[in-house]
Amino acid sequence: KSNARGVVAGLTRFVTAGHIARAALEATAFQSREVVEAMNSDSGVALESLKVDGGMVGNDLLMQFQADLLGVPVIRPKVPETTSLGAAYAAGLATGFWGEVEDLRENWVEDNGGCYIVPAFSGLFAPYWKSNARGVIAGLTRYVNAGHIARATLEATAYQSREVVEAMDADSGVALESLKVDGGMVGNDLLMQFQADLLGVPVIRPKVPETTSLGAAYAAGLATGLWNEVEDLRENWVEDNGGCYIVPAFSGLFAPYWKSNARGVVAGLTRYVNAGHIARATLEATAYQSREVVEAMDADSGVALESLKVDGGMVGNDLLMQFQADLLGVPVIRPKVPETTSLGAAYAAGLATGFWNEVEDLRENWVEDKRWEPTMDSAKRDEYYGYWKKAVTRTFDWFDADDD
């Protein structure tokens, strides 16, 4: 489904960053089970065990969960980076370097022996963009053995990275000072050292190299309020929500839906969406919820809203106030003293003690601080609100009444 988008579902006030991180990890296992079930159905052959490879197989927790979910043994090889290793093996077999698979018992080598591999198996991408290019194994001699080919396959990643870095340097005019790396291959110290040597700058590996899963956890933490500010994650500015919508139904949906079995959802996730979009979507959720309540009140009363006077801590956010005005299509007005709950308590006490004689005396104290006029065109407003309403439906009936 090309029009599907990522979702973080089942959010409640109980859910913490740990639960989000665990769910991000478990998603891999659930997806694997779906693929296995489809293959079993198509082939008529049931899976008896699963041999795994790649960076994530180093996570024992995930591997155990995968075994539990599939109900079959999960087996990790001694060398988990079988993609790179397999490319070298396959190339050697294809060129007749090895006669049989059994010939692949490889020895350690100090360098590539003059052998270079360009893995353009589907063409060359950045910075060449040549779809008609094809892979090459060059520099073969009688001296080159399986170890050299495996080493050349590994080094190809570093060479490709350097080409991309040089292209970025040329386009931006900014020279690379260091390279922060992530992913499964960064666990290979040999490759990391060669990358540093080739670039001439330090290569830095984080404590947690699986930053895709970590980033998902961070983004969800922002959405659930685990982190208070975007600055906590060294966030970059974004112009919009990137198609991401957050419905914070952590304890169910209240007005105007009144659905106690709804649960929070982060919807519309793509590879483009970053922490900034998530933070922006979290902020915008307040405006969308306010519009739904306003529409319900308009419908019940028959009186259309002409302007919205706001109060509370969030009204100090000019971005949110402008978006609220745009979404409602009416002016949003902030008072000089936004903490009107405390102010109201003071007014009530003043009236009770006779400090003020009438409510009319209090009207003189209200002063407008700032006003936001709507600037968004109606078509864009309706488009955004339509996606919000779609996201809301994803929270419905998350669990049945008889669920534990």
Q: For residue 110, what are the contacts with CB-CB under 8 A and spacing of at least 6?
A: none
Taking the domains of the chain in order of start, what are their residue ranges? 17-75, 83-173+185-201, 228-331+373-394
Structure tokens at 128: 């060449």
Q: Which fold has domain 228-331+373-394?
A: Nucleotidyltransferase; domain 5 (3.30.420)
Mean pLDDT of each 10-residue bin along the chain, 404 residues long: 87 87 90 92 91 82 93 83 64 62 57 90 88 91 82 90 93 92 79 94 81 62 62 63 92 91 92 86 93 94 94 85 96 88 80 83 84 94 96 90 59
Partner residues linked to 51 by β-bridges: 75
> What pLDDT is stored for residue 373 in this prediction?
96
Between the alpha carbon of residue 329 and those of residues 112, 219, 245, 255, 305, the distances in Å are: 66, 30, 20, 21, 9
Q: What is the SS3 assignment for 142?
A: coil
Query: Burial of 403 by CB count in 10 Å (0-12 exposed, 13-18 middle, 19+ buried)?
Result: exposed
* Amino acid identity at 111: D
Q: What are phi and psi of 119, to 5 degrees?
A: -80, 60
So what's the pLDDT on residue 14? Answer: 86
Q: What are phi and psi of 332, to 5 degrees?
A: -110, 130
Edge to edge, the sheet with strand 368-372 lists 308-309, 332-335, 368-372
Q: Residue 53's pLDDT is what?
A: 80
d(CA 373, CA 380): 16
Partners of 74 in beta bridges: 50
Distance CA(335)–CA(369), nearest Å, equals: 5
pLDDT value, residue 31? 92
Check if the beta carbon of residue 280 is closer than 8 Å to that of residue 315. Answer: no
| Beta strand pairing call for 50-51 and 74-75 | parallel
- Judge whether 153 and 116 are in contact, CB under 8 Å: no
Question: Coil, strand, or helix at residue 308?
Answer: strand
CA separation for the pair 288, 326 (Å, rounded): 11
Predicted local confidence at residue 108, as pLDDT: 55
First to last CA, the chain: 32
User: Based on the number of CB atoms within 10 Å of its own CB, is 290 exposed (0-12), middle (13-18) or buried (19 or more)?
Assistant: middle
As given in the structure block, the two tokens for residue 130 are: 């040549």
- In whole angstroms, give the CA distance from residue 376 to residue 328: 10
Read off φ and ψ for residue 346, nearest 5 degrees.
Answer: -65, -40
What is the CATH T-level fold of the domain 83-173+185-201, as seen in this structure? Nucleotidyltransferase; domain 5 (3.30.420)
Residues 309 and 335: beta-carbon distance below 8 Å: yes
Q: Do domains 83-173+185-201 and 228-331+373-394 have the same CATH topology?
A: yes
Separation of alpha carbons 76 and 57, rounded Å: 7
